Structure formats: C-alpha cells, structure tokens
C-alpha cells in the first residue's frame, strides 16, 4: 500500500512551471466564482430595482390618464386603456380600478376574469403603497395608486409579476460567465505558452540545503570562453550555495557547469542568432556567497561578454579559445594548425560548433567545403609596444626593486673625480681589446700568405 501511494506521489510530482500554472489557474478560478456571484447579485438587484421603478411609474401614469380624461364616466374607454397597458407589459398580470363610495370602494373595471378583486383578496389599503405578496407559487408586487380629478376619486391596484425579468438576468449572467471563463482559460493558456516558448529549460523545483550545509560548483568546463580565465585558480568551486533551481536542460542545450549532485549550474542554448545563459542560482547573496568572492565580477563580465558577442573575431590571442562555426549540413570543418598538422584537440558545443584553444601563433586554416577560411592567432602584443621605457621602472625590473633609490641617490652624490676614477679601468680594458684585435689581424694575414705560397709551389 505504501509503495502504491509513493508511486502516485512520484507521478504527481510537478515542476515549478506546472506549480505556477496550477496556482494561477486555482486563483483565477476563485476570482471567477467570486466575480460570478457578485455580478449575478448586483445585476439581479439592479434589474429588479429598474423593474419596480418602471412598474410604479406605469401605474401612476395610468392613474393620471384616468383622472385627466375622466374615465370614471366612460368605462369602455377605461377598459381599453387598461388592456393597452396589460398587453404592452406582460408583467402586469391584473389591474383593478376602484371608485370611492360612502361605504366601501366599488370595483368599476378589471383586466381579470373569474378572479376576486385585489382589494378584497389581498390588501384593503387605498393609499399609495407597494407590497410584496406570494400568489400561485410566484412573487408579485401589489401597487396601489390613488386617482382624483375633482369630480371622482378612487384608486388603482396593479398586480405585477416580480420575477418576469429573471430570464433576462439569467441570460446576462450566463453570457458574463462565458466571457469570464474564456478569459481565464485564455490567460492560463497564454501563460503556458510563455513558459514553453520563452523558458524552454523547465525548472523542476527549488532545492534548498539543510541548515549549515552547502553545495559547491564542481563540474566546470574550463575550456569554455566563460571559464577559461578560471582555469588556473579554480575559484568558482569555493563558492558556497544554499539554494538553486533544479532544472532539466533540453537536447539542444549545453551544460557548462554543474553542482555536486549533477544538477546544472549554468546552461547555454541558442535563440535565433544569439545566445541565452541560464544561471540556476541567484546572482545576489540570498542563495550563495559568490558575490562576496573575488571571482564574481570576472564571472559576470565573462558571461556578459560571451552572451553579447555578435560576430566571431578574425584574430585571437595565443592561448585564447575561439569558436569555429559548423558547416551548413551541421558537420564540423577540418582545421589545420599553423604548422600544417590536422587539429584533433577540439571540443564541440551543443549546436555543433567547434571550440579551439590556440596553442600556436599563426594562421589556422578552416577547411569549409564551400570556401576555406582562416583564423589568425598572434602572440602577446605587448612586445611590439614602442613606448619610451621609464628608466626607473627598467632599473626596478632588472634589480627586483632593491636598492634603486639608494643607487640613484649615491650616483648623484659622487664628485667628478670619483666618477672618473671608477672609469679608469675601462681604458685598460679598451687598450687590451685593441691589442687583441691587431694581433688577430696580423695572424690571419700571415696565414693567408702561407696558403697562397703553398698553392703557387704546387
């Protein structure tokens, strides 16, 4: 049983993108439910209020017309006027018109047949009122409006169906929910496409070490242009990392560095004509102490420099690693060293390009099938600098910086006689060298004469 549960948990393990999508979808679903409820309540109350106000206005308008045209004296016209209102307003289920009498009001006209009048059945009030009643499993408003024109007086009672606009409310509610639900689906889908298209290296989870434990950056490709300056020092491995995003690079990505557990630290892949670098831990001190080490600034500089390269250079320095583009068919071109030997010590990137470390100065021949190309490798250019050398720096470089100031000050404090006395030995050496030169010339001449006489005798 425990094995089965563990298997289900492993299958349901989500990466970071899926967790974010699930969180966004759940949050927007809650927003959808709350918005739908609030919208339905608000729309229902607004439409109901508008319905009530128009029903009261319609009843008052009918009472004003009855008073103005004195329909109390013409019951046939009164009946027609009432039928016009009922036919134009289906929510008006019944209209009763009463005329005031000394004893009790008398019903003089109604739109209902075979139904008791509203005054006796529901409400005996003759003042202007509006009450809510239940009738035949429905909700109604009973609106009362007084009528008076100086000759006659009375009142109207109108029975208005309260829920007649419910279908309109439900229709608007359904349309609103449909639009809102479509917006939620579109938003989640758009977020998913953004993750898939722009973040093609899925982040599986955030790994955080236990207290007082760290992980190190161990597997580093020091032959890559980003890390070649750290080849001798290896200072990156001294960084202590407490958290990182465990990622899963795709086939076209190249992992340039890894943590101790094998999870990628720095991933590179191509995007169009450019490069993308994904550093799975932070560049701030929150997840590691790399910013506190001397290697941080050179590391960031190398990443920016490498990612910002748009064109390959035509010449490189001795010991520098440069990239050779692959053929159109994806194969790597053959490369000859300046000495003419075929180069075999190369590495390949995930895109099929070749990384070459220049160990010899000269021209590397790139044997492309269409047309050969060359990459020039030069020695250190400082040897060709003809800037005038500072004498003090030269003395310091020769003597190692010891006694420079003392020797200079001492030579300036010597008198002319002392300086001339130190130079007397040079006269003796010059005379001895001149004597040796004359002796060598005489001996060479005599030897030449002896050889010529011997040939003549032969």
Picking from 42-56, 279-293, 369-383, which range would have the lowest pLDDT averaged per residue? 369-383
Beta-strand ranges (E) seen in 58-170 are 92-99, 106-110, 129-135, 138-148, 153-161
Q: What angle do CA 266, 272, 278 make, to 5 degrees?
A: 15
Segment (H or E) for 315: strand 315-317
Picking from 115-124, 189-198, 239-248, 370-379, which range would have the lowest pLDDT averaged per residue? 115-124
Q: 114 or 231: which carries more pLDDT confidence?
A: 231
The residues that bridge with 274 in the sheet, in sequence order, are 271
Which residue segments constitute the domains of the chain, with CATH numbers given?
A: 21-168 (3.30.450.20), 200-310 (3.40.50.880), 391-451 (no CATH)
Could you read off the pLDDT of 9-43 as tens digits, one per residue? 444 556 566 777 788 888 888 887 888 778 777 87
Alpha-carbon distance of 251 to 261, in angstroms, equals 20
Q: What are the structure tokens assigned to 350, written together?
A: 């995930």
Could you read off the pLDDT of 212-226 as tens digits, one per residue? 888 888 888 888 888
Q: Which of 182, 195, 183, 179 is nearest to 14 (CA)?
A: 195
How many other C-beta atoms can be found within 10 angstroms of the C-beta atom of residue 184?
18
Q: Model confidence at 191, in pLDDT bands (50, 70, 90)? A: confident
Do residues 267 and 249 make contact, with C-beta atoms less than 8 angstroms apart?
Answer: yes
- Edge-first strand order for the sheet with 92-99 is 106-110, 92-99, 153-161, 138-148, 129-135
pLDDT at 398 over 50: yes
Could you read off the pLDDT of 70-106 as tens digits, one per residue? 888 888 888 888 888 888 888 888 898 988 888 888 8
Could you read off the pLDDT of 141-156 as tens digits, one per residue? 888 889 988 888 889 9
Alpha-carbon distance of 60 to 262, in angstroms, equals 84
- Assign 231 to helix, strand or coil: coil
Cα end-to-end span (Å), the chain: 119
> What was the pLDDT predicted at 115?
59
- Residue 418 class from Cβ within 10 Å (0-12 exposed, 13-18 middle, 19+ buried)? exposed
Residues 391-404: what's their mean pLDDT? Answer: 61
Residue 327 gets which letter from DSSP? P
> What was the pLDDT predicted at 26?
82
Alpha-carbon distance of 378 to 362, in angstroms, equals 6
Q: Which of 173, 141, 139, 161 is nearest to 43 (CA)?
A: 173
Alpha-carbon distance of 110 to 398, in angstroms, equals 127
Q: What is the largest CA-CA distance in the chain?
A: 186
Q: Which of 356, 312, 347, 353 is nearest to 331 (CA)?
A: 353
pLDDT more than 90, % of the chain = 1
Alpha-carbon distance of 432 to 427, in angstroms, equals 9
Q: Model confidence at 417, in pLDDT bands (50, 70, 90)? A: low
- Assign 86 to helix, strand or coil: helix
DSSP letter for each residue of 157-192: EEEEEGGGGHHHHHHHHHHHHHHHHHHHHHHHHHHH
Residue with tokens 């982040």: 203
């Amino acid at each position: 049983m425990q094995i089965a549960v563990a298997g289900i948990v492993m299958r349901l393990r989500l990466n970071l993108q899926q967790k974010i999508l699930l969180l966004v979808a759940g949050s927007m679903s809650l927003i959808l439910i709350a918005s739908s409820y609030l919208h339905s309540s608000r729309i229902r109350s607004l439409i109901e209020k508008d319905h009530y106000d128009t029903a009261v206005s319609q009843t008052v308008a009918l009472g004003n017309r009855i008073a103005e045209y004195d329909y109390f004296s013409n019951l046939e016209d009164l009946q027609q006027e009432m039928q016009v209102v009922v036919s134009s307003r289906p929510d008006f289920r019944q209209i009763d018109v009463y005329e005031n009498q000394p004893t009790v009001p008398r019903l003089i006209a109604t739109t209902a047949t075979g139904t008791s009048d509203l005054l006796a059945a529901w409400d005996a009030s003759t003042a202007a009122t509006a009450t809510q009643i239940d009738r035949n499993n429905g909700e109604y408003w009973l609106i009362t409006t007084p009528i008076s024109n100086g000759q006659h007086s009375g009142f109207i009672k109108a029975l208005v169906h309260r829920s007649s606009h419910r279908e309109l409310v439900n229709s608007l509610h359904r349309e609103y929910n449909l639009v809102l639900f479509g917006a939620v689906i579109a938003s989640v889908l758009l977020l998913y496409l953004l993750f898939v298209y722009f973040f093609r290296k899925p982040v599986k989870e955030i790994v955080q070490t236990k207290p007082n434990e760290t992980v190190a950056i161990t597997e580093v490709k020091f032959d890559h242009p980003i890390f070649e300056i750290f080849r001798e020092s290896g200072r990156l491995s001294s960084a202590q990392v407490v958290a990182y995003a465990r990622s899963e690079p795709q086939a076209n990505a190249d992992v340039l560095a890894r943590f101790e557990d094998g999870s990628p630290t720095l991933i590179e892949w191509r995007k169009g004509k450019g490069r993308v670098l994904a550093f799975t831990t932070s560049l701030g001190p929150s997840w590691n102490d790399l910013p506190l080490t001397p290697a941080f600034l050179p590391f960031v500089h190398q990443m920016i420099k490498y990612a910002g390269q748009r064109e390959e250079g035509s010449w490189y320095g001795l010991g520098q690693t440069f990239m050779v583009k692959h053929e159109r068919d994806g194969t790597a071109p053959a490369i000859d060293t300046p000495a003419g030997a075929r180069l075999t010590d190369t590495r390949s990137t995930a895109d099929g390009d070749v990384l070459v470390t220049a160990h010899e100065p000269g021209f590397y021949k790139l044997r492309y099938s269409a047309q050969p190309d060359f990459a020039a490798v030069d020695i250190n250019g400082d040897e060709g600098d003809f800037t005038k050398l500072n004498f003090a720096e030269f003395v310091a470089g020769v003597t190692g910086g010891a006694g420079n100031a003392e020797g200079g000050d001492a030579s300036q404090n010597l008198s002319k006689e002392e300086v001339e006395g130190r130079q007397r030995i040079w006269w003796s050496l010059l005379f001895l060298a001149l004597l040796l030169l004359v002796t060598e010339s005489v001996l060479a001449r005599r030897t030449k004469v002896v050889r010529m006489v011997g040939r003549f005798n032969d």
